[in-house]
Amino acid sequence: MTITELKKYKKILLIGYGVEGRSVHEFLKTHCPEIEVAIADAKDGPDYLEKQKDFSFAIKSPGIRPELVTIPYTTVTNIFLANTKGKTIGVTGTKGKSTTSTLIYEMLKEAGKDVYLGGNIGKPPLDFMDTLTDQSWTVLELSSFQLQDIKMSPHIAVLLMVSAEHLDYHHTVEAYISAKRNILRFQHESDFAIVNRDYPVSHESDIETAGKVFKISRERETDNGCFALNGKVFVRKNGSDESIIDISEIKLLGKHNLENVCAAVMAAKLTGVSKEHIVAVLKSFGGLEHRLEYVGEKYGIQFYNDSLSTIPEAAIEGVEAFDGKVETLIAGGFDRDLDYIELGKFLAKSTIKNLILFSPSGERIWQAVIDAGGGERIKKYDVHSMKEAVLFASEETESGKVCLMSPAAASFGTFKDYKDRGEQFKKAVMALV
């Protein structure tokens, strides 16, 4: 929605007043000072949504489910896409979007481009929109919450792997997938789509875009796109291959990160970034805080923080990244009714000897391990605090092995959020004498 369209309303209700709510409030003060703005936030009480009856239009925050909004509305993402200057690169997926978004941002910055990072990572995009020019690039990490009601798509849309998540919000897998695919749906022929071909849901999403499609893969060649093969990363365009980097030179840990690398390389190439600048970033960027983050060594044990792991697939990939060196896994947390069957099968056959679990999802993870036949080989420890978890890990993990905190679950309940969980883990590790 353009600023001109917003100005048609004399009163606007902000539903939700978190980071995006406060950002759009400041935006309206600057660009639409004549509009009367009111706030409806859950902190105001259980009946906060009743304020809608006094308004004909709202701006909804991502965390508010659409069915709760009874009047016409728009969102921060829609406002940004309708009013921004320059070009936008949008990144979404169940996993990897933070790492991929950051890689793209760093590659463009390395090349000297005027680039900004926002959305789910960095600043809310309205905070820096007024500084953008026609030569600017904005990289947006976009969640399903932000995508489900957009009316425009980014110039370059990146769709990483998609698996079931946030069903407490979207209710069905189909609704979640449809929200993710909105990143492609409103593209034009002059736009570009980068799609992960290693996962059926993502691969089959290419029919949703009118833009030119580039496929990425960590395990097979693609006709137009970027892929990892025979120890190297390649970009293929119009039948011509360009070798980018030896995989051994990439600083990021884990085979799963090759998906993120390939997506970032393809996006950077489409913006005109040279191989030289791409390689410089891949050799130096070691990853995000709370994503396979090395914390330190105590008693010969290497401790790694993977608090950003909130789904089973992320925990599997986290363990796989260490090639059999993980002996202790700290997992579990808030229960969102995720499917832990495959995680149980994986752990039952893995090198994991100690499983330190937070309830309530820890109980379901352990049951999946038992069902897969791993209950006798693996020792289980139930814990209620991160300090307790780290103490068990320090006592039970052999010197020379890895203790990985990769929860495969959300953090709510025991912790404020994934950052708090990760910080408590690091603090507990460093407190070991």
Task: Give tens-digit pLDDT for 278-331.
Answer: 999 999 998 888 989 999 999 999 999 999 999 898 899 899 989 899 999 999
pLDDT band with cut points at 50, 70 and 90 for residue 31:
very high
pLDDT tens digits, one per residue of 390-422? 999 999 999 999 999 999 999 988 999 999 999
How much of the chain is in helix, strand and coil states, percent to nearest 5? Answer: 40, 25, 40
Q: How many CA atoms lie within 13 A of 113 on its CB side?
A: 27
**How confident is residue 164, by pLDDT bands cut at 50, 70 and 90?**
low
- Residue 94 pLDDT class (50, 70, 90 cuts): confident
Mean pLDDT of 152-156: 97
Note the Cα 377 to chain centre separation in Å: 34
Answer whether 279's CB lies under 8 Å from 244's CB. yes
- Is 165's pLDDT higher than 60? no
Omega before 125 within 30 of 0, i.e. cis = no
CB 285 within 8 A of CB 103: yes
Q: Please determine, for residue 246, whether its predicted confidence score (pLDDT) is greater than 90.
A: yes
What are φ and ψ of residue 357, in 5° steps?
A: -125, 135
Domains, the chain, in order of start with CATH, read: 3-74 (3.40.50.720), 78-284 (3.40.1190.10), 293-430 (3.90.190.20)
Q: How far is CA 143 from CA 98, 120, 425, in A?
A: 10, 7, 26
Task: Write down the pLDDT at residue 162.
Answer: 87
Q: Is the pLDDT of residue 194 over 70?
A: yes
Q: How far apart are the C-alpha atoms of 217 and 229, rounded to whole Å?
A: 9
Encode pLDDT of 2-14 as tens digits: 999 999 999 999 9
Query: Given this model, what pLDDT does residue 20 score?
Result: 92
Q: Say what the pTM is.
A: 0.82
- Token pair recorded at residue 189: 């022929």
Phi, psi of 379 (to 5 degrees): -85, 140
Mean pLDDT of 371-388: 96
Give the least confident one: 172-176, 273-277, 278-282. Answer: 172-176
* Residues above pLDDT 70, as percent of the chain: 98
Q: How sure is the predictor about 433, in pLDDT bands with cuts at 50, 70 and 90?
A: confident
- Strand partners of residue 116: 138
